[in-house]
Amino acid sequence: PTKLRVSEAISGAELGANIKVQGWVRSVRPQKTNLFLNVNDGSSLQSLQIVATSELNDPLLTFGSAVEVTGTLKKSPHQKQTVELQAEQIHVIGECNPVDFPFKIKERHGLEYIRQFPHLRCRTNVFSSLLRIRSEATSAIHSYFKENGFVQINTPVITSNDCEGAGELFQVEPPSPENKEDQNFFSVPAFLTVSGQLHLEAMSGAFSKVYTFGPTFRAENSQSRRHLAEFYMVEAEVSFTQSLEDLTKVMEDMFRSATEQILAHCAEDVDLFHKHVTPGHRDTIDATLKRKFPMITYSEAIDILNRSSEKFAFPTDWGCDLQKEHEKYLVKHCGNIPVFVTDYPYDLKPFYARDNQDRPNHTAAAVDLLVPGVGELCGGSLREERLDLLRARLEELGLEDTYSWYLDLRSFGSVPHGGFGLGFERYLQCILGVDNIKDVIPFPRFSHSCLL
Ligand code: 4AD
Ligand code: MG
């Protein structure tokens, strides 16, 4: 027999072929003379129907058990599937006690329930769909950058800088042996990266267009539905960028191109979400893809919030940081599609943001992309490329020595440039409508939780 993946057996193989499939049992239906099984191996959402005579039944054939089935592929007389496997041999490779197995046959378990079993939840349809979509989304993002002439850079996970200056660093240090406590492995304090931006900026000075896609870490004490301690970020940096519009064009193009690829390549898996998990969300995505994303300034956003009749828990004076409630309101106000907010108060942004040199409301050329359901999806800015202004700001912050290498970038062939970072898990939440960020990453890490 030819060994096939279940998806190949269902859509590619010839009728009459003698084949072997391996997978996990998703349903068992013994009848008078026949036994029906559904077997899934994760190659797609679909399971292959196995038909066997009752002699092949085995009490170990239970929901969740691992099996190998050999037989002949036949046209199925049932409407639900085009083919089925007439089994000649069924071998139980691994038993699964249905009493102890946390998932039950024929039950549609909710995301919250399956979250309790991070090592097993990939055995459910919903989470295996999610992870196939996540895999496709990763490829889609790489494809966008490849097709658009970006060079991929592996920025370091261990670094000595705090790019965002927000003090959310995890420090990295091997456990120190007794009496050697003053020995410091890297000789300087080292941290898990919060963003690859600064390293990417260095590279943009040679390749013009660069990106990185990797894990980033933040010691956020927040128990929110959109924060993790370890998350993946897609970051791009583009040289010779004159305006925020140059940057928002890349952000919007990437969003569209990746989303269209995911919808096209993962239709079945995406449908599972849009039909059964987050009904109604498909309309939001369709509306998002149809319209150009509006762009408003921070000052306009503040006006909109102040004119609204909504009672916000946080203040909305000019100069305040936008909170999730404000972001949600702005997205609704703009038609429930993604919206760019630009030109934030200078004092709210990290040292690298380009000074707009405007008064009295002093702003930086920074931009966030806010999306339905999630709020902030991307943060970006033009970078301060003018040596004198950047040096003055770093001196003000007492950081000129730490960032002397970064100042060098402005001394040797400095060009106007800008970039952004997109939170990959928030992107998945956005396209699927998933409320909790812990449900879009295989093994979530957050405060007080590092299971497995
Ligand atoms: O807005 P942030 O902090 O921007 C930066 O780090 C820039 N240096 C990126 C750049 O310009 N290259 O983070 C970027 C995005 C946020 O908009 C958000 O989507 C996501 O990263 N993010 C998180 N996602 C999950 N959990 C967290 N704790 C996150 N913090 C930020
Ligand atoms: Mg941000």
- Amino acid 218 reads R
For residues 152 and 290, state if they share a domain. Answer: yes
The pLDDT-based confidence of 222 (bands split at 50, 70, 90) is confident
Average pLDDT, the chain: 95
The Cα–Cα gap between 236 and 371 comes to: 19
Query: What is the structure's pLDDT at 166?
Result: 87
Query: Residue 220 above 90 pLDDT?
Result: no
Query: What is the structure's pLDDT at 181?
Result: 60
Domain boundary among 106, 137, 164: 106
For residues 96 and 125, state if they share a domain. Answer: no
- Identify whether 215 is part of a domain: yes
Report the nearest-CA residue for atom 4 of ligand 1: 379
Mean pLDDT of 195-217: 98
For residues 62 and 171, state if they share a domain. Answer: no
Q: Is 376 in the pocket of ligand 1 (CB under 6 A)?
A: yes
| d(CA 163, ligand 2 centre) in Å | 12
Q: Which residue has the tokens 């991307």?
A: 378
- Identify whether 335 is part of a domain: yes
For residue 35, give both structure tokens: 């036994």
- CATH code assigned at 335: 3.30.930.10
The pLDDT-based confidence of 117 (bands split at 50, 70, 90) is very high
Detail the DSSP E strand segments found in 18-166. Answer: 18-30, 34-40, 48-53, 66-75, 83-94, 151-152, 158-159
| d(CA 378, ligand 2 centre) in Å | 7
- The residue segments making up the domain with residue 19 are 2-106
Query: What is the structure's pLDDT at 451?
Result: 84
Q: In what order do the strands lie in the sheet with 151-152?
A: 151-152, 209-217, 230-239, 417-423, 375-382, 363-371, 339-345, 295-297
For residues 47 and 144, state if they share a domain. Answer: no
Query: Residue 437 above 70 pLDDT?
Result: yes
For residues 145 and 229, state if they share a domain. Answer: yes
Domain boundary among 46, 78, 106: 106
Q: How many residues does the chain have?
A: 452
Our mutation pick for probing the ligand 1 site, out of 153, 233, 377, 436, counting the most ligand atoms within 8 A of Cβ, is 233
Separation of CA 250 from chain center? 18
With pLDDT > 70 as the criterion, what percentage of the chain qualifies? 99
Query: Residue 346 above 90 pLDDT?
Result: yes
- HSE toward the beta carbon, residue 342, CA cutoff 13 A: 18
Query: What is the structure's pLDDT at 179?
Result: 61
| d(CA 421, ligand 1 centre) in Å | 6
The Cα–Cα gap between 300 and 305 comes to: 9
Query: What is the structure's pLDDT at 96?
Result: 97
Query: Residue 167 above 90 pLDDT?
Result: no
Query: What is the structure's pLDDT at 180?
Result: 63
Q: At what angle do helices 404-411 and 387-396 cross, to 10 degrees?
A: 170
183 vs 301 pLDDT, higher one = 301
- Identify whether 444 is part of a domain: no
Which atom of ligand 1 is nearest the CA belonging to 233? 21
For residues 241 and 371, state if they share a domain. Answer: yes
The pLDDT-based confidence of 182 (bands split at 50, 70, 90) is low
For residues 326 and 364, state if they share a domain. Answer: yes
The pLDDT-based confidence of 184 (bands split at 50, 70, 90) is confident
Query: What is the structure's pLDDT at 109?
Result: 93
The Cα–Cα gap between 222 and 419 comes to: 26
For residues 127 and 79, state if they share a domain. Answer: no
For residues 70 and 127, state if they share a domain. Answer: no
Helix (H) or strand (E) holding 396, with range, is helix 387-396
pLDDT 10s digits, 273-287: 999 999 999 999 999
- Note the ipTM here: 0.99
Strands 339-345 and 158-159: unpaired
Local structure of residue 11 (DSSP, 8 states): H
For residue 141, give both structure tokens: 């993002």
What's the domain count of the chain?
A: 2
Q: Is 197 in the pocket of ligand 1 (CB under 6 A)?
A: yes
80 vs 327 pLDDT, higher one = 327
- Identify whether 355 is part of a domain: yes
- Amino acid 357 reads Q
For residues 316 and 431, state if they share a domain. Answer: yes
The pLDDT-based confidence of 176 (bands split at 50, 70, 90) is confident
For residues 58 and 159, state if they share a domain. Answer: no
Query: Residue 340 above 90 pLDDT?
Result: yes
Which atom of ligand 1 is nearest the CA belonging to 196? 12
Report the nearest-CA residue for atom 21 of ligand 1: 423
- CATH code assigned at 40: 2.40.50.140
Report the nearest-CA residue for atom 9 of ligand 1: 421
The pLDDT-based confidence of 262 (bands split at 50, 70, 90) is very high
Mean pLDDT of 364-388: 98
Radius of gyration of the chain (CA): 26
Query: What is the structure's pLDDT at 12?
Result: 80
For residues 65 and 184, state if they share a domain. Answer: no
- Identify whether 237 is part of a domain: yes
pLDDT 10s digits, 154-163: 999 999 999 8
Mean pLDDT of 112-127: 96
The pLDDT-based confidence of 178 (bands split at 50, 70, 90) is low
Query: Which ligand lies nearest to the CA atom of residue 231 in the structure?
Result: 1
| d(CA 211, ligand 1 centre) in Å | 15
Which atom of ligand 1 is nearest the CA belonging to 220? 28
- Identify whether 200 is part of a domain: yes
Q: Is 241 in the pocket of ligand 1 (CB under 6 A)?
A: no
- Identify whether 452 is part of a domain: no
Ion ligand 2: residues, CB within 5 A, are 379
- Identify whether 31 is part of a domain: yes
